[in-house]
Amino acid sequence: MLRKINENTYVIGDTHLFHNNIIKYEPLRRKYLEEGAPSHEDWLIDRWNSVVRETDLVLHLGDFAFKPHLYAEYALFMNGKKILIIGNHDAKDISVYKDLFEFVISDGTVWIVRNNQITYLKTHHRLANGIVKTIGEYKILFSHYPIYPPEGEVSPVTEELKKVFEKLNCNLNIHGHIHSKELNNPLLINASVEKIDFKPVKIKELIDRVRKR
């Protein structure tokens, strides 16, 4: 499944299904109330399915649902073949995702895809998970956490991912986790839902954004 990731693969992060407080933390999500959606979840699922077909591949960058043991099954209502990079809100209930996603990346693992060869390396933090693959001129690290934390914050996860990024000579990090925040770093692009109009976006569209900077 990892071999199939290409510029037409969709990416999204931080759906946070059934995380009621996320609306307080991220006011942009209040938009669903204005549009008359019956729930935050229905709104996100409708937006997902408006662009993703059953045959499409979607890479989810983590924090799929709050309390995954109760709500992860909502993935069944979302189109596409799905790969999940475990985020901090997913980490307590990883097992429930195994039957719902085509591939789940967890336990401090970074998968490296080079042509037809797939290898992996282990990091020193269980949340430092990711995929490294070259698309066009970019060697991309896909991860939940960015390789640099927001200003004033310290994160051992980002430190681990930064080591991987540098060791493998990556030149772009497509990440989630920070929601509507922006790090303004040329090596990073934020694919949290708040930054991609609350629906999956193709990798090539994110790359186009980077090229236009």
Question: Are the beta carbons of 211 and 19 closer than 8 angstroms?
Answer: no
Strands, E assignment, 41-158: 57-60, 81-85, 103-105, 109-114, 117-122, 130-135, 138-143
Residue 91 has pLDDT above 80, yes or no: no
- 3-state SS class at 52: coil
Can you tell me the mean pLDDT for 191-198?
96
Structural domains of the chain ordered from first start = 2-204 (3.60.21.10)
Indicate the pTM of the whole model.
0.95
Residue 52 has pLDDT above 80, yes or no: yes
Q: Return the pLDDT at 176.
A: 98
Angstrom distance (rounded) from CA 20 to CA 85? 22
Can you tell me the mean pLDDT for 72-81?
93
Backbone angles phi, psi at 175, to 5 degrees: -140, 175
Angstrom distance (rounded) from CA 30 to CA 120? 40
Mean pLDDT is lowest, of 51-55, 63-67, 186-190, 193-197, for 63-67
pLDDT digits (tens, 9 = 90+) for 2-44: 999 999 999 999 999 987 778 778 888 877 667 777 788 888 9
Question: Are the beta carbons of 89 and 39 closer than 8 angstroms?
Answer: no
Task: Tell me which residue of 153, 102, 156 sits closest to 128, measured CA to CA.
Answer: 156
DSSP annotation of 118: E
Show the CA angle centred on residue 137, arms to residues 133 and 143, nearest 5°.
35
Q: Higher model confidence: residue 60 or residue 154?
A: 60
pLDDT digits (tens, 9 = 90+) for 104-131: 999 999 999 998 899 999 999 999 999 9
Question: Are the beta carbons of 186 and 213 closer than 8 angstroms?
Answer: yes
Angstrom distance (rounded) from CA 206 to CA 134? 14
Can you tell me the mean pLDDT for 75-101?
92
- 3-state SS class at 164: helix
Q: Return the pLDDT at 33.
A: 64
Instruction: Name residues whose C-beta falls within 8 Å of residue 33's C-beta, 6 or more positions apart in sequence.
Output: none
